[in-house]
Chains A and B, each alone.
Chain A
Amino acid sequence: METGKIKSKDLKMGLANQVVFANTLEELAETNKDILVVTSDSRGSGKLVPFGQKYPDQIVEVGIAEQNLVGVAAGLASAGKKPFAVSPACFITARSLEQIKNDVAYSDNPAVMVGISAGVSYGALGTTHHSLHDFAVLRAINNISIIAPADNYETEQAVRYAADSNKPVYIRLGKKPMPSLKEDDLNFEFGKGRKITEGKDLVFIASGETVYPAWLAAKELEDRHGIKATVVSMHTIKPLDTDLLDSLAEYGAPIITVEEHMVNGGLGEACASHLMQKGHRNAFVMVGIPDEYTVTGSQVEIFNYYGISKEGLYSLGKEMLL
């Protein structure tokens, strides 16, 4: 297993969430022999080479054939196995979407789909390799939950949850090392947003790798202007923690949603839909990738361009309050 190293003066930098996924699954697979990894020539990208070496009988390779990947995983789950189908998020939630919809969700075969290198993790590889649609398409499918963990702790917990779940789960992971967001409060609960900071002047609701820039922006707003913001890691996109949304809206403060996803159909729209229907009228801005040809560049460059960054979110927060 790889070890973490300090990279940030703010938070202890950890591993890429997809490395934590692989490590956690490796640990669970030692005692739970029903756990299988199903890959589409993706064990390297999924950091699962050690898993395959250690448990050769617990890895099923299907080659580059994502439809079969998910169909086979559904069959394995139906037979009582606990398959984790692992493939880049861009492929597993698009090429094999119909298999997720019918063979997993509709047929209620509790496979776990793990979308690796999600969002714009692949950066300059371009739109073919970006998954900016996965929240939207899976939100519109019954009987599958969506988890986008922010840090290593949430990732480990999400994997443990999925391994025990008797329902279909999609876990969305990035490939960039992530810091531990809140080491003193380890309270992951599936379906419940996790408050990273608390404050009633402003609310950031973020998910996955965008929680960290939201946290950095919140810290900057407090340091420079005394603005106290709540930062929520809304790791479970579906089912959405609507109780938490209601309580956050009660602050009366502006709400900013942040996601590594197209704003159409993603976390922001899910939050907006609930808040509006419940009669909350907070100032509300969705930050994500707009409905346009995504700018080229690395993940960081794309984040910066669209304001999914410490600077972008700081400026937006300041603009909404000052």
Chain B
Amino acid sequence: MTDKELQLKSVHLRKNILKYIYMAKAGHTGGSLSCVDILNVLYNRVLNVDPHEFRKPDRDRYIQSKGHSVEALFVTLADRGFFPEADLETLCQHESHYIGHPTKKVNGIEQNTGALGHGLSIGVGEAIAAKLDGKTHRIYTLLGDGELPEGSNWEAFLSAAHYKLDNLYAILDYNKQQITGNNEEVMSLDSVRDKLESFGWAVKEVDGHNLIALEEALNKGPLVAGKPSFIIAHTVKGKGVSYMEGNIKWHHGVPTAEQYQLAMSELQEAEALI
């Protein structure tokens, strides 16, 4: 896949996020749009995963700790061939496996997440197991900035550094907003970089919407040998739709028909410019 095709895919995935949230009349719109470029790069450039034989023991793991942005994960997995995209027409419907948070009943999903502050500890366990077995696969977790105040994350940060888990990558979808407002108003995180470095992690900051920069940060092995890698992906909540960008009401806002058409035409324009 060329870089241009990868860029086009990001637009396609954004369209699908909006399509299925609009269809389901539910979803975490803003956060899905902020992390979807990260997922696009992971699933199309980084992760060694096989949609047709997902449970291969040596696959790379992806654990989405910020489970509520599941729509971004669903559309990425569908696009990658883990399941037919049409399955997403059942999103949030009675008896569907495609619910508002990741579940292992969906092919391609590693863990049932959704309660915040859980994914990284599971990743630490996976990474320790891989080290014990001398395996070389990598474990990626996606964290939201809103979930960083969960104390369990900091327990996991300590243990990852203690065990020198350089096969573990935590990516922060740092859109700087959460349901109530800006992170800094709700619970100050500054400076995430300083905190993580002091916890023994190697840290790199990237533009979380720059696909090439993301790939470079995620796909070149650990940032520092012997340390877990923390990628601060600076993102924009609602990225790609002008009226959603940086507007907290789109945390889990569902567009009206008119808004949906406007968003789709904006994405159409973005696509034409690539």
Listed in ascending order, the chain A residues whose CB lies under 8 Å from chain B are: 36, 57, 60, 62-63, 65, 67-68, 70-81, 83, 98-99, 102-103, 106-109
> Which residues of chain B are within 8 angstroms of A106 by Cβ–Cβ distance?
112
A57 & B156 in contact (Cβ 8 Å cutoff)? no
Q: 9 A-B Cβ contacts within 8 A?
A: A36-B132, A68-B121, A71-B152, A76-B125, A77-B125, A81-B132, A102-B114, A103-B121, A108-B104
Taking the nearest CB of chain B, how far is it from the CB of A83, in angstroms? 8
Query: Which residue of chain B lies nearest to A107 when distances are taken between CB atoms in the complex?
Result: B112
> Which residues of chain B are within 8 angstroms of A62 by Cβ–Cβ distance?
155, 159
Taking the nearest CB of chain B, how far is it from the CB of A73, in angstroms? 6
Query: Which residue of chain B lies nearest to A75 when distances are taken between CB atoms in the complex?
Result: B125
Docked pose: A260 CA to B151 CA in angstroms: 31
> Which residues of chain B are within 8 angstroms of A63 by Cβ–Cβ distance?
155, 158-159, 162
**B111 close to chain A: CB less than 8 A:** yes
Taking the nearest CB of chain B, how far is it from the CB of A69, in angstroms? 8
The answer to whether A75 and B129 touch (CB under 8 A), given A99-B118, A102-B113, is yes
Which DSSP category, helix, strand, loop or mixed, fits chain B's interface?
A: helix
Q: Per-residue CB proximity of B231-258 to A under 8 Å, as 1/0? A: 0000000000000000000000000000
- Which of A57, A65, A71 has the most chain B CB within a 10 Å cutoff? A71
A75 & B118 in contact (Cβ 8 Å cutoff)? no
The answer to whether A76 and B129 touch (CB under 8 A), given A102-B114, A102-B118, is yes
B57 & A71 in contact (Cβ 8 Å cutoff)? no
**B123 close to chain A: CB less than 8 A:** yes
Docked pose: A63 CA to B161 CA in angstroms: 13
Taking the nearest CB of chain A, how far is it from the CB of B58, in angstroms? 11
**B147 close to chain A: CB less than 8 A:** no
Taking the nearest CB of chain B, how far is it from the CB of A68, in angstroms? 4
B115 & A79 in contact (Cβ 8 Å cutoff)? no
B128 & A67 in contact (Cβ 8 Å cutoff)? no
> Which residues of chain A are within 8 angstroms of B110 by Cβ–Cβ distance?
78
The answer to whether A72 and B159 touch (CB under 8 A), given A78-B126, A102-B112, is yes
The answer to whether A65 and B158 touch (CB under 8 A), given A78-B110, A80-B57, is yes
**B130 close to chain A: CB less than 8 A:** yes
Docked pose: A83 CA to B122 CA in angstroms: 13
Docked pose: A99 CA to B119 CA in angstroms: 10
B118, B130, B151, B159: the one within 8 Å of A103 (CB): B118
B128 & A72 in contact (Cβ 8 Å cutoff)? yes
- Which of A60, A75, A77 has the most chain B CB within a 10 Å cutoff? A75
Query: Which residue of chain B lies nearest to A57 when distances are taken between CB atoms in the complex?
Result: B132
Docked pose: A249 CA to B159 CA in angstroms: 51
Docked pose: A80 CA to B151 CA in angstroms: 27
> Which residues of chain B are within 8 angstroms of A65 by Cβ–Cβ distance?
155, 158-159
A75 & B126 in contact (Cβ 8 Å cutoff)? yes
Q: Per-residue CB proximity of B165-186 to A under 8 Å, as 1/0? A: 0000000000000000000000
Docked pose: A108 CA to B112 CA in angstroms: 9
> Which residues of chain A are within 8 angstroms of B156 by Cβ–Cβ distance?
68, 71-72
Query: Which residue of chain B lies nearest to A71 when distances are taken between CB atoms in the complex?
Result: B121
A81 & B159 in contact (Cβ 8 Å cutoff)? no
Taking the nearest CB of chain B, how far is it from the CB of A172, in angstroms? 23
Docked pose: A106 CA to B124 CA in angstroms: 19
> Which residues of chain A are within 8 angstroms of B155 by Cβ–Cβ distance?
62-63, 65, 67-68
> Which residues of chain B are within 8 angstroms of A80 by Cβ–Cβ distance?
57, 129
> Which residues of chain B are within 8 angstroms of A71 by Cβ–Cβ distance?
118, 120-122, 124-125, 152, 156
Please list the 10 inter-chain residue pairs (A to B) with the smallest Cβ-Cβ separation, ordered nearest first: A75-B125, A71-B121, A79-B129, A68-B155, A65-B155, A75-B122, A72-B125, A67-B152, A76-B125, A107-B112
> Which residues of chain B are within 8 angstroms of A75 by Cβ–Cβ distance?
121-129
> Which residues of chain B are within 8 angstroms of A98 by Cβ–Cβ distance?
115, 118
